[in-house]
């Protein structure tokens, strides 16, 4: 039997070691800074980085999960180290289309935060570090933020039919941002670009 054959009816085994097994059986979706530069507070710093080479900010691996209520979508996300001005590299972030959907993230390597936000404005930053899992409750948008100097690699799982709502975040932004403080440590600040 071929390794990493995705049999959604009978089950399968997936080799995540060094991401080699996953990359052979799944497509990586890549996000460069040019695709999300307006999400960063320092527009001038973002433009300069895009013009200087347009760095890869993050990528994730999709398995083509059936979008059925009983199936689970899962994969890995890799957020690379870097900053736009003082703001750390991050994923775009999203709500689920089915808002009442929770998600689990397990940190494989690197360090950072899972920044979560409810539609009513409750914001929580959960620390991500190897060996720890974060549960993102239903109704919360979520984004990974890499505050370290190595790739932040997480494993994620959620219901297969949940969908992704990136549009709300692209339009409104997050209420809070995570930046490097004067002491060199991560600091949460208000997002000057957030729209009600």
DSSP conformation letters of 38-94: GGSS-HHHHHHHHHTT--EEEEEEE------TT-EEEEEEEEPP-EETTEEPB---B
Tokens of 155: 């494993």
Containing domain of residue 66, as a range? 17-190
Tokens of 15: 């080799």
Which pLDDT value is given to residue 3?
A: 44
Domain count, the chain: 1
Q: Is residue 3 part of a domain?
A: no
Can you tell me whether residue 127 is helix, strand or coil?
strand
Which pLDDT value is given to residue 26?
A: 57
Q: Is residue 1 part of a domain?
A: no
CATH number at residue 165: 2.60.120.10
Which pLDDT value is given to residue 80?
A: 98
Residue range 167-185, pLDDT digits in tens: 999 999 999 999 999 999 9
Predicted confidence pLDDT, tens digits, the chain (196 residues): 334 466 766 666 666 554 443 444 556 899 999 999 999 999 999 999 999 999 999 999 877 777 878 888 888 999 999 999 999 999 999 999 999 999 999 999 999 999 999 999 999 999 999 999 999 999 999 999 999 999 999 999 999 999 999 999 999 999 999 999 999 999 999 999 988 7
- pTM summary value: 0.88
Which pLDDT value is given to residue 15?
A: 61
Q: Is residue 155 part of a domain?
A: yes
Q: Is residue 4 part of a domain?
A: no
Which residues face 189 on adjacent strands?
Answer: 177
Q: Is residue 7 part of a domain?
A: no
Q: Is residue 5 part of a domain?
A: no
């Amino acid at each position: 039997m071929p390794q990493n054959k995705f049999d959604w009816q009978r089950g399968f085994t997936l080799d995540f070691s060094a991401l080699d097994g996953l990359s052979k059986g799944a497509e990586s979706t890549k996000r460069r800074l040019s695709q999300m530069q307006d999400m960063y507070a320092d527009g001038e710093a973002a433009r300069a980085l895009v013009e200087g080479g347009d760095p890869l900010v993050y990528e994730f691996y999709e398995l083509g999960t059936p979008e059925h209520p009983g199936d689970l979508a899962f994969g890995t996300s890799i957020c690379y180290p870097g900053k736009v001005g003082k703001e750390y590299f991050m994923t775009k972030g999203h709500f689920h289309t089915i808002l009442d959907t929770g998600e689990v993230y397990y940190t494989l390597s690197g360090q950072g935060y899972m920044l979560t936000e409810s539609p009513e404005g409750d914001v929580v930053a959960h620390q991500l570090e190897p060996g720890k899992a974060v549960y993102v409750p239903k109704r919360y948008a979520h984004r990974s933020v890499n505050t370290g100097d190595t790739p932040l690699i997480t494993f994620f799982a959620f219901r297969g039919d949940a969908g992704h709502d990136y549009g709300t975040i692209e339009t409104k932004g997050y209420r809070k941002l995570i930046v490097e403080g004067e002491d060199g440590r991560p600091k949460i600040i208000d997002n000057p670009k957030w729209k009600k």
